[in-house]
């Protein structure tokens, strides 16, 4: 076979072709890595990974608060005092095997309590610190008729505490994620537990590429 020598024009043509191909590959790679974003209503149920998400937090909080307010303790309190009980949402511990933003969950619980209209809700211990600093600042710098005085906070009658637990069973490309949320409402004066609630969630997650 006879070898054909490559002159300058042929080499330049080959070099230009490779440059064009390289640019196309970079552009295609950039397009492939660009994320696709779509907006959805915040109340829409979307579950991508099977992990605890905003839908779980919202539905569990609404259901458990509704259950707690439908029990005998609140009617007994109203009958004895003539008013609404005051509730504070305390710590909800994450005892699961995954990262769960429990602050989002406690805020969902607070919202459900307030929206019910059946109880009074006071700020958490973390929030009270900032408000006390603000009142002190007002006493130093605000006019007497607008400054808020100290010692007029509303004390809570009941505290809500609890935790989130998980059990995970996995084999091959299939896993079952079991969540158990446990909440307790406690009388702060007597330490009596007036309500204990439990909510269970079971999710089956199948990974693509596996056949069962």
Please indicate, yes or no, if residue 92 is contained in any of the structural domains: yes
Please indicate, yes or no, if residue 134 is contained in any of the structural domains: no
More confident residue, 122 or 8: 122
Please indicate, yes or no, if residue 212 is contained in any of the structural domains: no
The mean pLDDT of 121-145, rounded to a whole number, is 91
Please indicate, yes or no, if residue 105 is contained in any of the structural domains: yes
Please indicate, yes or no, if residue 174 is contained in any of the structural domains: yes
CATH of residue 87's domain is: 3.40.50
Q: In whole angstroms, give the CA distance from residue 112 to residue 92.
A: 15
Per-residue confidence band for 60, with pLDDT thresholds at 50, 70 and 90: very high
Number of domains in the chain: 1
Domain hosting residue 105, numbered range: 54-125+154-206
Please indicate, yes or no, if residue 196 is contained in any of the structural domains: yes
Model confidence at 102: pLDDT above 70: yes
Burial class (CB in 10 A: 0-12, 13-18, 19+), 150: exposed
Q: How distant, in Å, are the alpha carbons of 14, 16, 18 from that of 28?
A: 21, 18, 15
Burial class (CB in 10 A: 0-12, 13-18, 19+), 67: middle
């Amino acid at each position: 076979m006879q070898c054909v020598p490559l002159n300058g024009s042929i080499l330049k043509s080959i070099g230009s072709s490779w440059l064009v191909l390289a640019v196309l590959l970079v552009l295609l790679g950039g397009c492939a890595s660009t994320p696709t974003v779509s907006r959805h209503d915040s109340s829409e149920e979307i579950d991508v990974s099977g992990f605890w998400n905003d839908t779980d937090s919202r539905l569990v909080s609404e259901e458990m608060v509704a259950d707690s307010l439908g029990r005998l303790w609140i009617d007994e309190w109203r009958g004895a005092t003539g008013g609404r009980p005051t509730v504070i949402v305390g710590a909800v511990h994450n005892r699961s095997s995954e990262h769960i933003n429990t602050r989002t969950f406690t805020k969902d619980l607070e919202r459900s309590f307030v929206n019910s209209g059946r109880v009074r809700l006071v700020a958490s211990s973390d929030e009270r610190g900032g408000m006390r600093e603000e009142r002190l600042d007002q006493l130093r710098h605000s006019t007497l008729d607008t400054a808020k005085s100290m010692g007029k906070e509303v004390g809570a009658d009941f505290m809500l505490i609890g935790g989130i637990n998980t059990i995970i069973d996995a084999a091959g490309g299939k896993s079952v994620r079991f969540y158990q949320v446990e909440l307790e409402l406690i009388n702060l004066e007597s330490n009596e537990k007036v309500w204990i609630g439990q909510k269970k969630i079971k999710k089956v997650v199948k990974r693509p590429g596996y056949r069962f």
